[in-house]
Structure 1
Amino acid sequence: MLKNYLKIAFRNLAKSKLHTGINLIGLTLGLGVSILIFFFVQFETSFDNFHEESGQIFRVVRHEKGEDGMITGFSTPIITAPTFAAEFPQVTHTTRMIGSSAQAYLDENTTQTQQFLTVSPDFLEIFSFRLLQGEKEQVLQDKFGVVITEETAKKYFGDADPMGKSIRMQMGDNYEEYQVSGLLEDLPANSSIQFEMLVNDQNLDFTVAKQNQDSWFNVYGDTYVKLNDAQARAGIEAGSDAMMKKVLGEQYREGEYLFTLQPIAEMHLTENPDSGMVESTRPSLLWILAGIAFLILLIACINFTTMAIGRSTTRAKEVGVRKTMGADFGQLVFQFLTEALLITIAALLLGLLLAEVLLPTFNELFDKKLALVYGPTQILILFGLVLGITAMAGAYPAFFLSSLRPIKVLKGNLSIRFGKQGLRKGLVAFQFFISFLLIASTLIMVHQMETIRDYDLGFDQEMIVLVNVPDVPGTSFVKSINAGFAQAEKYRQALVGRSEVQSAGITIATYGDNSFWDGGFPTEEGKQFNFRLNFVGGDYVKTLGLEMAKGRDLNPQPGSDSSAILVNETFAKAMGWDDPTGELLPSTKIKSHEIVGVVKDFNHNSLYKEIEPVILAKSPEVIFSGINMLMIHDATNPKVMVKGYGSDFDSFRSLLESEWGRVFPSETFSFSFLDETVQKQYVADERLGKMVLIAACIAILIAAMGLFAMAALSIAGRTKEIGIRKVLGASSWSISWMFNREFLVITLVGVAVGLPLSLYFMQGWLEQFAVRDWPSWVNFLILAVGGIVFTIAVISAQSYRATQMNPVKTLKDE
């Protein structure tokens, strides 16, 4: 029986090559893209689930009361881990996790910046990273023992066994010998925590003063705990305030400083751009991509359904004959679903090949390491897609055709219109609606990203190179910053005398990457005033092309203007100053200082955020003396900003590298472009825009094939009518217009619904930007006219060919 079903299905599919081909191409395109997206969504939702007992692992979240309510952060005091272990018996293991870097000798003559995590000995007891060599209980016990990944081992030792070998790294003022005590398998791609090397947290003595290690008001890195039972979370959070009362003593204020626990499963997917030290993805991105995949598949399925309905007159006689010969309703349904299943399986196989071809482009677009593996979860996704598409595309035609009455069919009373013309039109209109929705959304996104790229940020970013200066670690934060600036000044002085260099400045923070520090101080009235902070040196203002609104620039000479600061216009407005030059910051504790100038507002942060009050200072002692809040965003080491002439970057880079080799002969030269740093902030939305554009193009292609097929079916079903009209004197133009008018209504419905809805949906997306702009109405008009012209072109080509047929042939009886 099954053999007969398959044989008949293959014959029917082969008989209608055009319609089978259109269905196959549409489903292949839809499945190829959808497989990538659904596998990507599954990959993103699988983050951190490889850890054993992952439900018992939590990240500690800090909450502090600020002027505008509670401030939440993932950085915690160093003392948090041992305090949680001592105060809560439900906590079985704890670890600090502090990201750091140091200069390390790659060989006898070359150093490089080595990133590492400073962790507690319990780290590998909490997280299930696979240890290839070494004992889990022992590898992180020694202060001068390190655990490295396979990739890091190859970097230092090639193919040799790394165990017991040494790596020299600068800790504090000296280089120390660290011995490899453990080798980890390279970390899974779906791990939120990524690192190259683990170092015992006893090494914090080299970089953090003892009083800061014991302070509850200095935060460094993250803290993780493992509980004996996931349900113990509620009790620990309820006891957090009591714990703080105990440890803070007289400094305790009820409800002003406490901790909660975040399950490790919730770390990766978050809308919060500040996700701490872990890699994160916005859940809204996954929802949008999944929606795009569903819409593309839906358009392909609509093609299948509309063409099956369009071919009903042909298949209806087949149904009538088979019912007369004894076939029942269930057998006919199974026959039609078998045809849909065969096309779906063929499209799935071709879609998998297409997905493999598109995978490198997809990974490059989203900066991921997605691999198309076919485990149980992925097989289940593919099985679900096959069943879902078969049901969605084949169910209605199967049940409708199988329900036809054989007497009516065999008498020839069934017309192609048979009451289902409205459904066909509605489905085609829905295809146009989706296509216009996607392409209008693409138009809005492209225009917004062009607005971002062309926006005047208030500073110059062209031909400016950021050169990273070697780290100078130390237990005193102020001394470490000053030592880093002294290093940077040596390199800056080597460049400023060269004719190829316009100017050079020094900065801690860059732009558009949220690297300006957060600071705050209490005013004389007792209110909290928060601002953004950057420490600068050299010709910083000149190099960036910042404009002075009032006063003067900072003196570029080292040691001068140590008590001088600059503020931006927003800072002056917040303070109510018309002319801030000569004014003092309204703090009760800040050391002797003077505001010497006001720079015009510039976008120190990305264009997602409004401009905030900013302080630019040369000396950290002045600012640190009077603030009661400081939050550092990654950047702690100075960079030299160098602005060159012309566009010959190769020779400019050679200059930078040669001077680097003279000033820092054993250090590795590394640099970045300021304009690229600025644009990195918008990469996620640019990627999303490209994905929507790709989806729009695929949707338009599938809808166009559907329109072509539907026009052909509609015209084929009315050839006798066309012949009669021609005999009665109708012109080819009038006949063509008859068909065009029918499909133009469908197009206009798609435009009328799709364009307004795209504006509605994109309103929410645009609201995330502080600077935003809508495309001109002319662009949407062009889009609508383009859709109308496209429809006219497709229908006219089909109808013209039909009008050229000899009416004598079309009017002959079968």
Structure 2
Amino acid sequence: MIKNYFKIAIRNLSKNKLHTGINLIGLSLGLGVSILIFFFVQFEMNFDTFHSNSENTFRLKRFEMFEGELRSSFSTPIVSAPALQEEFPQIQNVTRMISGVAQAFLDETNTQSQEFLMVSPEFLKIFDFNLLQGDPSNVLGDKYGIVITEETAGRYFGEANPIGKSIRIRLGESYEEYQVAGILEDIPENSSIKFDMLLNDENLDFMVEERSRNSWYNVFGETYVTLSSAKQEQDVEAGMEAMMKKVLGEDYEEGEYFFTLEPISEMHFSDDPNGGMVETTRPKLLWILSTIAVLILLIASINFTTMAVGRAMTRAKEVGVRKTMGADFGQLVIQFLTEAFLTTMAALIIGVILAEVLLPTFNELFEKNLVLVYGLNQILILVGLVVSITLLAGAYPAFFLSGLKPIKVLKGTLSLHFGKQGLRKGLVAIQFFISFLLIASTLIMVHQMNTIRNFDLGFDQNMVVLVDVPEIPSPSFIKTINESFKQAELYRQSLNARSEIQTAGITIATYGDDAFWEAGFPLEEGKQFQFRVNFVGGDYIKTLGLELVDGRDFNPDLGADSSAFVINEKFAEALGWDDPTAEMLPSTRFDSHEIVGVVKDFNHASLYQDIEPVLFAKSPDAVFSGINSLSINSATNPKVIVKGTGTDFESFRALLESEWEKVFPSEAFSFSFLDETVEAQYRADERLGKMVFFAAGIAILIAAMGLFALAALSISGRTKEIGIRKVLGASIWSISWMFNKEFLIITLAGILIALPLSLYVMQSWIEQFAVKAWPSWVNFTLLAIGGIGFTLLIVSAQAYFAAQMNPVKTLKDE
């Protein structure tokens, strides 16, 4: 019996090759894109689930009140880890997690920058990273023991067993030998925590002064805890206030400074730009991508339904004959669903092949290493897609056709006009609505990103190169900055001596939402004044082309203007200054200083953020003497910022590298472009825009095939009417218009609903930008005209060929 269903289904599908081909192409395209998206979403949803204690493990989140605004961050005080373990018996294990970069020996003459995580010995008890070699109970117990990944081991030691071997690393003022105590399997792709090397957090004494290590107001890295049970989360949070009263004493004010716990199962999904040290994905992105996949599949399924209903009269006779021969309702339903199932299965096979072909492009677009592994979860996704599409595309035609009365069908008295046409037109209108919704959304995104790309940031980013200079570590943060700047100044001066160099400066911060450090000092009225700070040297302001609106630039000589500040207009405005160069910062905490210049407001952060008060200083002593809060979320090593005189980058790079080898003969040379750093801030939205554009193209292609097939069906069913109209003198234009007006109404309905809805849907996306711009009504008008022209072209072409037919052939009896 089942064999017969498949035989008849294959016979019917092969008999109607055009319709089968259109359905197959549409479903294959839809499935290919959807498989990639659904597998990607499933991959993202499984982040950090491989940790056996994931339900009981939490990340500490800090809340602090500034000027009546409660701000949050995942940066925590170093002292919080032992305090939590002492205060709460519910906590089984706790670990710090502090990232850093140090110079490490590759051989006797060359070093490289080595990223690392500094963690507590309990780190590998909390997180299930696979230890291949080493004692799991004490692999991080020694201050001078390190754990490295397989990839890192190969980079340092090749094929040799690294256990017991040493790597020389500079965390403080000199290099120390660290012995490899363990080898980890390379970190899984679905881990939010990524690292190459683990060090014991006892090494913090090389990097941070004791006063800072014991301060509740200096924050470094993050803190993770494992509870005996996830149900104890509320108990721990409820006890936070008592702990803060205990440790802060008279400084404690209720609701001003406290901590909460965030489950690690949630840390990968964050819309917060300050997502901490872990790799994050915006939940909104996953929702948008999933919606795109569903919409594309819906359009492809609508094609199947509209063409099945369009062929209803032909299939109705088949149903009548089969019912007369004894077929019941259930058998006919199964027969039609079998045809839908076979088409979907064939499309699935092609779709999987298409997904594999598109995978490298998808990975490049989203900067992922997604691999299409067909495990149980993936198989269930594929089965779900097949079942859903089979029912979605085939259910209505199956139940509708199987329910026809054989007497009416065979007598020729059955009328399908109203239901058939109404449903088909409604489904086509939905197709056009979805297609134009995606196109209009793409238009809005492209226009906004072009606005961002062409926006004047207030500084020159073209042909500006940033060269990373090694940091000279020290427990004293001020000493680290000063000594590192002296080293950077040697390189800057060597570049300045070359005629090919226009200007060169030194900076700590580059560009981005957290690149400039955040600092604050108390005002007389008790409020906290928050601002962004950057330490600079040389001709920084000149190199970036920042515009001075008052006063002067820093003296570029090393040591000069050590007590001077340059601020931006926003800084002066926030403090209500009319003549900033005659003012002093309103806090008695600051040492003697002067404000020597004011630069025009510029965008130091991405255009997601408003312009903030900014202060530039050459000496950290002048700033650190007055502030009472400091938050650092970016690299702390200096960069020499260079602008050349020519356009030949290869020779420019060779010059930078040759001068580097003179000053730093054993250090690795590393550089980046400022404009690429700027562009990187918008990469996520650029990727999303490309994905929506691609989806819109697929949707239009599938809708076009559906419109072509539906128009062909509509015209083929009215050939006699066309013949009569021609005999009565109707022109080709009037016949073409007769068909076009039906489809134009459908097109206009889809456009008129899609365009305003796209503005509503994209409102939340565009609101994330501080600088925003909507496309003009002209753009939307042209889009609507394009949609109308698209419909006219497809329908008119088929109507023209139908009108060219000889009426004698179409009017003769069958």
TM-score of the aligned structures, taking structure 2 as reference length:
0.99
CA contact (8 A) 2:53 2:127 kept: no
TM-superposed CA distance for 1:760, in Å, is 1.4
- Superposition map of 1:693-732 within 5 A: 693-732=693-732
The answer to whether residue 406 in structure 2 is matched with residue 406 in structure 1 is yes
Q: 1:457: which partner in 2? A: 457
Quick one: distance in 2 between partners of 1:109 and 1:445? 50
TM-superposed CA distance for 1:418, in Å, is 4.7
TM-superposed CA distance for 1:536, in Å, is 0.6
- Superposition map of 1:96-495 within 5 A: 96-415=96-415, 417-495=417-495
TM-superposed CA distance for 1:416, in Å, is 5.4
TM-superposed CA distance for 1:216, in Å, is 1.1
Amino acid aligned to 2:645: Y
Quick one: distance in 2 between partners of 1:730 and 1:315? 32
Q: Percent of aligned positions with the same letter in both sequences?
A: 71
CA contact (8 A) 2:337 2:398 kept: yes
TM-superposed CA distance for 1:526, in Å, is 2.3
Amino acid aligned to 1:327: A
Residues 107-136 of structure 1 show CA distances to partners (whole Å, capped at 9, x for unaligned) of 222100000000010000000000000111
TM-superposed CA distance for 1:507, in Å, is 0.6
Q: 2:761: which partner in 1? A: 761
Residues 186-230 of structure 1 show CA distances to partners (whole Å, capped at 9, x for unaligned) of 011000000000001111111111121111111110011111111
Quick one: distance in 2 between partners of 1:522 and 1:362? 49
CA RMSD of superposed structures (Å): 1.0
CA contact (8 A) 2:517 2:533 kept: yes
TM-superposed CA distance for 1:251, in Å, is 2.4
Q: 1:612: which partner in 2? A: 612
Quick one: distance in 2 between partners of 1:771 and 1:609? 8
- Indicate the larger mover: 799-808 or 645-654: 799-808
TM-superposed CA distance for 1:249, in Å, is 2.3
CA contact (8 A) 1:79 1:213 kept: yes
CA contact (8 A) 1:461 1:675 kept: yes
Quick one: distance in 2 between partners of 1:739 and 1:246? 81
CA contact (8 A) 2:149 2:183 kept: yes
Q: 1:661: which partner in 2? A: 661
3-state SS of paired residue (1:420)? helix
3-state SS of paired residue (1:338)? helix
TM-superposed CA distance for 1:527, in Å, is 2.0
| Structure 1 stretches of 4+ moved >6 Å | none
Quick one: distance in 1 between partners of 2:39 and 2:352? 11
- Indicate the larger mover: 750-759 or 650-659: 750-759
Quick one: distance in 1 between partners of 2:733 and 2:316? 32
TM-superposed CA distance for 1:246, in Å, is 1.5
3-state SS of paired residue (2:334)? helix
CA contact (8 A) 2:522 2:528 kept: yes
Instruction: Work out the number of aligned pairs and report it.
Output: 814
Amino acid aligned to 2:34: S
Quick one: distance in 2 between partners of 1:360 and 1:134? 36
Amino acid aligned to 2:546: L
Q: 1:74: which partner in 2? A: 74
Residues 83-120 of structure 1 show CA distances to partners (whole Å, capped at 9, x for unaligned) of 11111111111111000111001122210000000001
3-state SS of paired residue (2:417)? coil
Quick one: distance in 1 between partners of 2:278 and 2:633? 14
TM-superposed CA distance for 1:256, in Å, is 2.1
CA contact (8 A) 2:310 2:420 kept: no
The answer to whether residue 516 in structure 2 is matched with residue 516 in structure 1 is yes
- Which runs of 5 or more residues in structure 1 are unaligned? none
CA contact (8 A) 2:494 2:659 kept: yes
The answer to whether residue 738 in structure 2 is matched with residue 738 in structure 1 is yes
Q: 1:638: which partner in 2? A: 638
Quick one: distance in 1 between partners of 2:292 and 2:588? 56
CA contact (8 A) 2:218 2:629 kept: no
CA contact (8 A) 2:63 2:73 kept: yes
Amino acid aligned to 1:794: I
Amino acid aligned to 2:671: F
Quick one: distance in 2 between partners of 1:288 and 1:203? 44
3-state SS of paired residue (2:102)? strand
Q: 1:595: which partner in 2? A: 595
Q: 1:94: which partner in 2? A: 94
Amino acid aligned to 1:706: G
Amino acid aligned to 2:252: Y
TM-superposed CA distance for 1:423, in Å, is 1.1
Q: 2:6: which partner in 1? A: 6
3-state SS of paired residue (1:101)? strand
The answer to whether residue 20 in structure 2 is matched with residue 29 in structure 1 is no
TM-superposed CA distance for 1:402, in Å, is 0.4
Quick one: distance in 1 between partners of 2:735 and 2:28? 35
Amino acid aligned to 1:644: G
3-state SS of paired residue (1:266)? coil
Q: 2:752: which partner in 1? A: 752
3-state SS of paired residue (1:581)? helix
Quick one: distance in 2 between partners of 1:169 and 1:226? 31
CA contact (8 A) 1:141 1:200 kept: yes
TM-superposed CA distance for 1:513, in Å, is 4.3
Q: 1:531: which partner in 2? A: 531
Quick one: distance in 2 between partners of 1:82 and 1:531? 31
TM-superposed CA distance for 1:61, in Å, is 1.1
Quick one: distance in 2 between partners of 1:608 and 1:414? 62
Residues 324-371 of structure 1 show CA distances to partners (whole Å, capped at 9, x for unaligned) of 111111110000000000000110110000000000100100011111
Quick one: distance in 1 between partners of 2:599 and 2:231? 53
Q: 2:572: which partner in 1? A: 572
Quick one: distance in 1 between partners of 2:253 and 2:165? 50
Quick one: distance in 2 between partners of 1:781 and 1:418? 33
CA contact (8 A) 1:365 1:687 kept: yes
Quick one: distance in 2 between partners of 1:810 and 1:332? 33
CA contact (8 A) 2:47 2:265 kept: yes
Quick one: distance in 1 between partners of 2:295 and 2:171? 55
TM-superposed CA distance for 1:782, in Å, is 1.3
TM-superposed CA distance for 1:532, in Å, is 0.8
- Indicate the larger mover: 800-809 or 661-670: 800-809
TM-superposed CA distance for 1:179, in Å, is 0.8
Quick one: distance in 2 between partners of 1:451 and 1:89? 54
TM-superposed CA distance for 1:645, in Å, is 1.6
3-state SS of paired residue (1:148)? strand
Q: 1:674: which partner in 2? A: 674
Quick one: distance in 1 between partners of 2:254 and 2:736? 80
- Indicate the larger mover: 756-765 or 708-717: 756-765
CA contact (8 A) 2:582 2:595 kept: yes
CA contact (8 A) 2:472 2:480 kept: yes
CA contact (8 A) 1:522 1:588 kept: no
CA contact (8 A) 1:514 1:606 kept: no
- Which runs of 5 or more residues in structure 2 are unaligned? none
Quick one: distance in 2 between partners of 1:748 and 1:646? 54
CA contact (8 A) 1:62 1:73 kept: yes
TM-superposed CA distance for 1:313, in Å, is 0.9
Quick one: distance in 2 between partners of 1:733 and 1:250? 89
TM-superposed CA distance for 1:415, in Å, is 4.5
3-state SS of paired residue (2:677)? helix
CA contact (8 A) 2:724 2:807 kept: yes
TM-superposed CA distance for 1:749, in Å, is 0.8
3-state SS of paired residue (2:181)? strand
Q: 2:805: which partner in 1? A: 805
Quick one: distance in 1 between partners of 2:793 and 2:210? 78
